[in-house]
Chain A
Amino acid sequence: MKRSEKAIGSVANYVDERTGAAKWLKKNLTKVFPDHWSFMLGEICLYSFIILLLSGTFLTFWFDPSQRDVVYNGAYSPLSGVSMSSAYASTLHISFDVRGGLLMRQIHHWAALIFMAAIVAHLFRVFFTGAFRKPREFNWIIGIGLLTFGIVEGFLGYSLPDDLLSGTGIRIAEAIIQALPVVGSYLAFFAFGGPFPGTAFIPRIFIVHVLILPGLFLALITIHLMLVWYQKHTQFPGPGRTEKNVVGYPLMPVYMAKAGGFFFIVFSVTAFLGAVASINPIWLYGPYTPGQISAGSQPDWYMGWLDGLVRMAPPLETHAFGHTISWNILLPGLILPGILFTGMALYPFIESWVTGDKREHHLLDRPRNAPNRTALGAMSIAFMIISLVNGGNDIIATHFHLTINGIMWFTRIGLFIVPPIVFIITKRICLSLQRADRDLVLHGKETGRLVMLPSGEMVEVHEQLTDAQKWTLTQHQQPDALPAPLPESATRGLKGKLRKRMNQAHAIQIPAPTLSELKELDHH
């Protein structure tokens, strides 16, 4: 043994004797994780969060969260001599006078957009593969919490520089608070410390943005990952993979290397975007003044659907007992998002109630094998995209020479018509894919090779799948309709009838090849 090795060994031994770390490490470093590209979407979220923490800390060194009036005298001449808030002036200072400041600001903002996009993509993966099923319902709810807080955190960050665009966003947020019946005006006064815009709001949201929500994120992400660790990662079905094992590679060295490398790739993509593409050019927007607004004022994309819903809401108002209820804001700004997010958080429980499936699941569904769920997901995405389109209706109108009223009516009607159509089409596609799987298992792949038999008949040679492939395509359990596993009493009443209808819809499947069909095939 070399001297240096000896020294390291004795240090390690010293630490181990006092902490017992070796045993713990030995156990946990060999933990096995399954491998699939879609399992790395969550990693993108984690890594962009780390980038956000690092770049955000850099920005706090110069950002002054204050609405105190100052006269700008910095490097950006088109604004020199203009009166503005200190928050805006310090953001200009970061952009033009701090070395690397603009790059850091852009990295921070691009990382935020990537963070949110990756959360949504990760959510899609978890939803469409059924990874939220028992025992992972709590982790699903934590994920929905992270998504919700991410939207709030992003919006607050977008609001901090106090530029013309973000001030407009805060104004809309104030309107949504005010739309709450009875308490709205009081809450808005409370949040803004008086009438809009006041001088209290930016210092307040700064603390929420840099301390409270990041702390909450750290806590929730830790629980999220600990649950993944403890419950083990789900895996796609395949030969040798069961509900009781995990087939994959050990954390050390495979995933350490992979995850570490992937972190740097996420960082480099974010830094690349920050270096080549302008984002939130606040110097062009100008400082916020309540009397000013720009055409085409938009929120960041993860709020865009909300903005689109508010834009398409018809002008409904009720006056009762000296109060005005603005349905045009309340409905799209609070009630509808509330229903959507509650429904999303409760979905694992709703699905298990509909299917009557209370078993644990560690093997993932292929999306086609759960046609109803897949169709529901596609329908929700269609809903969001239509709202999002209306959120950018003015930009679409000018760039594609369309009428903004036409786009609004298209989305108003489309919001109700397109999602059901998408549901039906997706479900049919799923069933067709099931049929294709069945065909593939029973008849094999079409090789395109034609053979002429002695009798003169021409046939195409079909190549049989391997046993492993056949297993992958046929291993899943297809759901039975209620009330087979459940007593008749569970399907009585209005609630019961609803459940029965939904359950039957859920159970529509193309029968997978049975064992006897496969055996018969082997005799040929």
Chain B
Amino acid sequence: MNKFTQFRRRKIAGPILVVAALFTIGTAFGIASALPGAQPAPSSSTSPLVSQGKAIFLRGCSSCHGLNAEGGAIAPSLIGVGAAAVDFQVGTGRMPMADMSQQAMRKKPVYNADETAALAAYVASLAPGPASVTSENLNWQRDGNIAQGGQLFRTNCAMCHNFAGQGGALTNGKYAPSLMGVEPKYVYEALITGPQSMPKFSDTTITPQEKLSLIAWLQSANHEQNLGGASLGRVGPVTEGLLVWTLGLGLLIGVAVWLAMKAR
């Protein structure tokens, strides 16, 4: 029996082999993941758009997000959030924030489309992330299915945004905003970047086609007629109860008083 066969027949041989195999695989994975990724950041740190974006960033954003977008005590790091997040946050006017309240609200954008694009290019140059989309690229009229979108919406979105996308309350003054009148591209970007309290819906959770269905359903809900008369805000029974106690019972009691006066 040679030495290798002797070792092979010992009880300890099995565990040693497993540990060795694990070590080899682990090391190989470590080296592989340390190598540059398959989608490297566009190495355009010299492009004029990026430097323009950096200049805007240093002027308008760095006081909270840090000089290198690394984040700070009051604002998150922007490395790796991608152009989509910038386009959504700046394009809808949420960033820069008006005040440090519970959550950034939609308002008139501070930067125009070109400045937003420059900012997005700068942030995208820091690390790879989801790219911004344009409304023209989203063919929701063709590829979206309204009924499927409704089911997806009720499963994934209605718990915060309400059954009709009217928005809803979250904890401590935060809220899920109304989705009425939100442009398709911002809906798409919110889905892929998960702004503020919203979770991220990756393409494996909700496929790009399903996202278009969601947009199609939201557009349909937005333009839906109020089929039963005044909508009362589409917020459920609270406003219905309010109307019954004010207008409904108010009218009836008014008539009762009038009838009782008539009898005298």
* Bound CA–CA A277/B161 (angstroms): 23
**How many Å lie between the Cα of A196 and that of B251 in the bound state?**
42
| A274, A277, A394 interface centre (most CB from chain B within 10 Å) | A277
User: Is the CB of A102 closer than 8 A to any CB of chain B?
Assistant: yes
Q: Are B248 and A78 in contact (CB under 8 A)?
A: no
B residues in contact with A82, CB < 8 Å: 147, 150-151
Q: Which of B11-19, B114-122, B133-141, B254-262 contacts A (4 or more CB under 8 A)?
A: B254-262
- Indicate if the CB atoms of B158 and A294 lie closer than 8 Å: yes
Closest residue to B220 on the A side, CB-wise?
Answer: A78
Q: Which residues from A are CB-within-8-Å of B161?
A: 295
Q: Contact: A258 with B252, CB < 8 Å?
A: no
Asked if residues B172 and A297 are in contact (CB atoms below 8 Å), the reply is no
Given A286-B154, A404-B171, A301 and B237 contact (CB-CB distance below 8 Å): yes
- The answer to whether B256 and A262 have CB atoms under 8 Å apart is yes
Instruction: State A82–B152 Cα separation when bound (angstroms).
Output: 11
* Chain B residues with CB below 8 A from A109, complex form: 240
**A401–B170 Cα gap in the complex (Å)?**
11
0 or 1 for each of B231-244: is its CB under 8 Å from A? (1 = yes): 11111111111111
Fill in one digit per residue for A22-54: 1 if any B CB lies within 8 Å of its CB, else 0. 000000000000011110110010000000000
B25 contacts A by Cβ under 8 Å? no
Instruction: Confirm or deny: B37 has a beta carbon within 8 angstroms of a beta carbon on chain A.
Output: no
Q: Is the CB of B162 within 8 A of A294?
A: yes
> Which of the listed residues B230, B234, B259 has the most CB atoms from chain A within 10 Å of its own CB?
B259
Contact B237 A298 (CB under 8 A): yes
Q: How far is the CB of B178 from chain A (nearest CB, A)?
A: 9
Asked whether A301 and B150 contact (CB < 8 A) given A265-B255, A277-B232, A295-B168, the answer is no
B146 touches A78 (CB 8 A): yes
- 0/1 per residue, A52-96, Cβ < 8 Å to B? 000000000000000000000000011111100000000000011
Quick check: A36 and B260 within 8 Å, CB to CB? yes
The interface size bin for chain B is: 35 or more
Chain B residue nearest to A391 (CB atoms) is B238
Does B180 touch A at the CB level, under 8 Å? no
**Alpha-carbon separation in the docked complex, A254 to B263 (Å):** 9
> Of residues 265 to 304 in A, which have CB atoms within 8 Å of B's CB atoms?
265-266, 269-270, 273-281, 283-286, 289, 291-301, 304
Taking a contact as CB atoms under 8 Å apart, the answer to whether A113 and B248 are in contact is yes
Closest B residue by C-beta to A35 = B263
Contact of A404 among B163, B169, B234 (CB under 8 A): B169
- A309 interface residue, CB < 8 Å from B? no
- In the complex, B181 has a CB within 8 A of chain A: no
Q: Which residues of A contact B146 (CB under 8 A)?
A: 77-78
**Given A40-B256, A281-B227, A295-B161, are A395 and B241 also a contact pair (CB < 8 Å)?**
no
In the complex, how many residue pairs between chain A and chain B have their CB atoms under 8 Å apart? 209
CA distance A19 to B166 in the complex (A): 64
Closest to A265 in B: B255
- B154 touches which of A277, A289, A300, A395 (Cβ 8 Å): A289
Residue of B147, B173, B238 with most chain A CB atoms under a 10 A cut-off? B238
Most buried by A among B155, B175, B236, B257: B236
Is B257 a contact partner of A394 (Cβ separation < 8 A)? Answer: no
- A142 contacts the other chain (Cβ, under 8 Å)? no
Closest to B228 in A: A278
Question: By DSSP majority rule, is chain A's interface helix, strand, loop, or mixed?
Answer: helix
B-chain residues with CB within 8 Å of residue A364 when the two chains form the complex:
none
- Asked if A222 is at the interface of the complex by the 8 Å CB criterion, the answer is no
What chain A residues lie within 8 Å of B198 (beta carbons)?
A: none
Query: Looking across the interface, which residue of chain B has its beta carbon closest to that of A403?
Result: B173
Report if B34 contacts A (CB, 8 A).
no
The answer to whether B252 touches A44, judged by C-beta atoms less than 8 angstroms apart, is yes
Chain A nearest CB, measured from B233 CB (Å): 8
CA distance A109 to B233 in the complex (A): 17
Cα separation A399 to B171 with both chains bound (whole Å): 15
Contact A117 B244 (CB under 8 A): yes
**Complex contact B229–A117 (CB within 8 A):** no
Q: Tell me whether B241 and A301 are in contact (CB under 8 A).
A: yes
Whether A283 and B244, one on each chain, are in contact in the complex, defined by CB atoms closer than 8 angstroms, is no
A294-338 toward B: CB 8 Å interface, digit per residue (1/0)? 111111110010000000000000000000000000000000000
Q: Look across to chain A and name the residue whose beta carbon is closest to the beta carbon of B153.
A: A286
Give the CA-CA distance A77 to B159 in the complex, in Å. Answer: 23
Shortest A214–chain B CB gap in Å is 21
Cα–Cα distance between A82 and B251 once the two chains are bound (Å)? 41
The docked-state distance in angstroms from the alpha carbon of A196 to that of B164 is 26
B259 touching A79, Cβ below 8 Å: no
| Cβ B237 vs Cβ A280 within 8 A | yes
Q: Which of B154, B167, B252 contacts A269 (CB 8 A)?
A: B252
Whole-angstrom distance between the alpha carbons of A56 and B164 in the complex?
27
For B263, the chain A residues whose CB sits under 8 A away are 35, 249, 254, 258
Instruction: State whether A110 touches B162 (Cβ < 8 A).
Output: no
Q: Decide: A35 near B154, CB < 8 A? Known: A295-B161, A398-B167.
A: no
Are the C-beta atoms of B249 and A118 separated by less than 8 Å?
A: yes
Q: What 6 additional pairs, Cβ within 8 angstroms, besides A249-B263, A296-B162?
A: A35-B264, A165-B237, A254-B263, A273-B248, A295-B163, A395-B236
8 A-B pairs in the complex with CB atoms less than 8 angstroms apart: A37-B257, A114-B248, A121-B253, A164-B158, A286-B154, A286-B163, A295-B162, A304-B237
Q: Which B residues have a C-beta under 8 Å from some C-beta of A?
A: 102, 146-147, 150-151, 154-155, 158-164, 166-173, 175-176, 217, 220-221, 224, 226-245, 247-249, 251-253, 255-257, 259-261, 263-264
